[in-house]
Structures are given as C-alpha cells and as structure tokens.
Amino acid sequence: MRWREGRSRLHHGRPAPVPQVRDRVLVLGAGAREHAIVQALARSPRAPELICAPGNVGIARDAAVRVLRPDDRGEVVGLARELRPTLVVVGPEAPLVAGIADALAEAGIRCFGPTGEAARLEGSKSYCKEVMVAAGVPTAAHSVVRTVSEGLAAIHRYPVVIKADGLAAGKGVVIAENEAQATAALRELLVERRFATERVVVEEHLVGEELSLLALCDGVNAVALASARDYKRIYNGDLGPNTGGMGSFSPVPAVDERRAQEICAAVHQPVLDELARRGTPFHGVLYAGLMMTEDGPKVLEFNVRFGDPETQAILPRLRSDLLKLLEAACEPGGLAGVGPLLWADQMAVTVVLASAGYPESFSSGDVITGLDRVPENVFVTHAGTGRGRGGELVTAAGRVLSVTALGPDAATARAAAYSAADMIRFDGRQMRRDIALRVAP
C-alpha cells in the first residue's frame, strides 16, 4: 500500500513512525521462468507487492495477475503508469527487442532489462557476431550471407551450422551434414523466407559440452550467476526435435563460482565494454550459450534475458536478495557495491512436463492431478496451465509445468525432482528421464 498524506502526522507531540513505502514489482511474461522470478522476489526480505502480467493460473497464487500483451508497448506503459511500480522486470526477449525498456524509461519507470538497441544482441545473430568479433570474444568462425550461392561458397566443411538472422524462437538453427541439407536450409531461409530474415549466418560447427552462463549487468560490471545446463531436445539422450527446454540443472560441477567468474571476465565483460563504447550500455541479464570446446569456452549465442528452464534451477539456490540485485543492475555501475552473490550449497534439478504432441503441436484441456501431493520443499512453476469448465487445472500449452528440487548432491536432487514430477499426472504427459543423469550416475 502506498502511504497517503494523512491529516496529522503528530501523535501526542511525537512524529508518527516514518511510513514504509512497500516495493511494488511488475513482472512481464507468462511462463515458468517468470513464475520462478516471482517466487524468488517473494523471498526478498522486503516482501514486495508482486504483480505479473499476463501471468498464468499458477503465478496467480503467488502474485496478482493482470491481462496484457507484453510486446505491446502502449499496453505495458499504460499498466505501468496505472500501477507506478518501483521496478518492472521483463521476462521474455520479444518485448525487449521491441524496445519496452526504452518506452518505460521515457515514462520514468525503472525497468530491469536492456534497451532495444542493446537487445539486438539477441534480436540479430549477425549483429551479435559483429559485437563479439569487435570485443575479441571467442566464438565460432562465421560468414554473413544473403543468397544461397553466397552461403554455399562460405562452407568449407561439414557439418556446418546455418542460422536465421532474426528472432526464431529457437527454431532458426540447422546443423547441415552435407551440401544437400545446406542448400535446403539456405533456400528455406533466404528464398522461402521462413523467418522474414534477409541474412543468414553460416558458422563453424563446434563440438563439446554446452553451458549456459547468465550474468547480471549494470552497464559497466558483469556478475556471473551460478552456471547451468539446459536440455533442448524432446527425447532422452538428446534425440528428437528442439524444444523450448525440457529440463536443467545448476550448478554445472565443472564450472564452480570461481570458474564462472573467469568465463564471465572473458566473455560477458568484453561484450559489456564494447556495448558501452558504442553508447548502448547493457543493463539486465546477459546470457551466454557456450560450447566448452577443447580450445576453451566459445560463445554460440547471446540472449538478453533470463533463460528458460535454467532460471527455474538457478534462482531457488540464490540466497542473496534478488530484488536488491535487479534494482542495482538498473543503475550504472550499481552492482559494484552488492558484494559476492550467496548460493545454497546444493544442486538444483528441474524437470519440465510437456503436453502430448509437443513440440510440433500441443494438447490442451487435459486434467492435471497430483499437485497437492508434491512436497513443500519442491518448487513447482507453471507455464501452460489453465482452468477447465469446472475450475479444474488443465493443460493449456506445450510446456506445462517445471518441477525443481534441491539436494546435497545431483543424485539426491534428481531423485527428489523425479519423485515429485511422477506425482503430477495428465494424459499424454511427456518428460525426459535423463535430466542431470550425466552428473549423477
């Protein structure tokens, strides 16, 4: 509640207690990532008032929800003007690339997330490559091409990676094994224009373990969050088509806090410095998708926001106040004073439950049962859930729920996550059985 001017602030000749203005945070987005952000903010000692737009039926238990299209600048600024939040946190990339942070700044509202110009790092793969080369960040060798013949001429060996230049919801990357596949991929992107992109990045194929390393950035400093690994394919053993993410774990044992800061110094910091030099300082989460090659870590991509489902595994271990950190990142150089981040000395494992047909399609209206049996210490975050006609919880999209458990080691965390995930049932439920198996034999 905001404090209002009262009639008299004097009681018995003494000044009344100074009113505490409660923090009010507006989170934009509707997925399990945003639910994890809401849950982490709710753990802040400042107990902020939380509003999520549009949110979902699960988020509605932890925050007030408001109907809204997060990519619509007018709607977002309108709601922010009405609510006057002390902070807006943007979950997905599309509103950031569309310049939501700029629009909120113009309206005088503090926003955690990069400007539209800085968000081009995710919005355009060719721009991202240009910045990496200028910043001297290790990445795969590449060419930017505009025609199929230019593309084929740029290929020196197979497999080769072919990427659409613009946002493609994770579906714009093809690994071509031979010339026929490369030609088909180039034609699809440059002739059939599957993603309204005029340019394509043709890139060296890297081999190694993938790593997600997210850093909080205040325009000047990059502070690494705990390392994480996500699982993009639908089936066990990394088989089948790519999805939005079927599970994750954090931290990655080989990348402890010290190693994470080292990678951050070699990867995130030079990008931050380069963007500052260009006059577009980066505030928000800079997420590096890395390949740990024999020659060291190399960047596959940058995202300009929290990862999904990495965030569901990262934030439950954070013992520092997320609200304070996000606010500090909004101020130029603001993270310098926050000190080292504190983490629970535990492993977190996140398993995603998806509906039948995902990722090609999805099944809605399947009744979800068993959530009431999940133990208190397991974090359940909602993505594609909704209400059926009788008010029962039902599936409403491809990825339905994320289930995260912590444990003293990976095997214990895995067992707890799968035990809880197995309690939650709906027709056609899909989940991978091998999340974090590699680190918990």
CB neighbours (10 Å) of residue 278? 12
**Comparing C-alpha atoms, which of 199, 181, 180, 179 is closest to residue 189?**
199
Bridge-partner residues for 209, per DSSP? 292
> Exposed/middle/buried for 174, CB within 10 Å: 0-12, 13-18, 19+?
buried
x/- string (CB under 6 A) for ligand GLY, residues 309-348? -x--------------------------------------
The angle at the Cα of 217, spanning 322 to 313, to the nearest 5 degrees, equals 45
Q: Could you give the 3-state DSSP secondary structure of residue 265?
A: helix
- Our finding on whether 165 is near ligand GLY (CB under 6 A) is no
Number of residues that bind ligand AMP (CB under 6 A): 14
Cβ proximity to ligand GLY: between 168 and 415 the closer is 168
**Comparing C-alpha atoms, which of 315, 348, 313 is closest to residue 43?**
315
- Our finding on whether 308 is near ligand GLY (CB under 6 A) is yes
CB neighbours (10 Å) of residue 27? 27
- Our finding on whether 140 is near ligand AMP (CB under 6 A) is yes
- Torsion sign over Cα 377, 226, 27, 398: negative
Q: Are 225 and 214 in contact (CB under 8 A)?
A: yes
Looking from the CA of 158 toward its CB, the CA atoms found within 13 Å total 12
Q: Which stretch binds ligand AMP (CB under 6 A): 1-9, 17-25, 197-205, 304-312?
A: 197-205
- Our finding on whether 398 is near ligand GLY (CB under 6 A) is no
CB of 227 to ligand AMP, least distance (A): 15
Residues 5-34 that bind ligand AMP (CB under 6 A): none
Looking from the CA of 29 toward its CB, the CA atoms found within 13 Å total 26
Q: Could you give the 3-state DSSP secondary structure of residue 353?
A: strand
Q: Which among ligand GLY, ligand AMP, none contacts residue 173 (Cβ within 5 to 8 A by kind)?
A: ligand AMP
CB of 1 to ligand GLY, least distance (A): 35
- Torsion sign over Cα 127, 131, 133, 134: positive
Number of residues that bind ligand GLY (CB under 6 A): 6
Which amino acid, 416?
A
Among 227, 280, 303, 404, the residue binding ligand GLY under the rule CB under 6 A is 303
Cβ proximity to ligand AMP: between 84 and 156 the closer is 156
Determine how β-strand 111-112 pairs with β-strand 247-250.
Answer: unpaired
Among 219, 245, 251, 359, the residue binding ligand GLY under the rule CB under 6 A is 245
Q: Which stretch binds ligand AMP (CB under 6 A): 199-207, 276-284, 315-323, 388-396?
A: 199-207
- Our finding on whether 34 is near ligand GLY (CB under 6 A) is no
- Our finding on whether 245 is near ligand AMP (CB under 6 A) is no
Q: Which among ligand GLY, ligand AMP, none contacts residue 66 (Cβ within 5 to 8 A by kind)?
A: none
Q: For the CA atoms of 79, 82, 84, 85, what is the dihedral angle to 10 degrees?
A: -40
Cβ proximity to ligand AMP: between 140 and 405 the closer is 140
Which amino acid, 22?
R
Q: Are 63 and 40 in contact (CB under 8 A)?
A: no
Q: Which among ligand GLY, ligand AMP, none contacts residue 34 (Cβ within 5 to 8 A by kind)?
A: none
CB of 35 to ligand AMP, least distance (A): 23
Residues 296-325 that bind ligand AMP (CB under 6 A): 300-301
Measured in residues, the chain has a length of: 441
Residues 378-437 that bind ligand AMP (CB under 6 A): none
CB of 66 to ligand AMP, least distance (A): 31
> Exposed/middle/buried for 437, CB within 10 Å: 0-12, 13-18, 19+?
middle
Q: Could you give the 3-state DSSP secondary structure of residue 78?
A: helix
Instruction: Examine residue 95 and say whether the peptide bond preceding it is cis (omega within 30 degrees of 0).
Output: no
x/- string (CB under 6 A) for ligand AMP, residues 321-350? ------------------------------
Q: Which stretch binds ligand GLY (CB under 6 A): 55-63, 82-90, 271-279, 306-314?
A: 306-314
**Tokens 């918990």 found at:** 440
Residues that bind ligand GLY (CB under 6 A): 230, 245, 303, 307-308, 310
Residues that bind ligand AMP (CB under 6 A): 140, 161, 163, 170, 173, 203-206, 210, 232, 289, 300-301
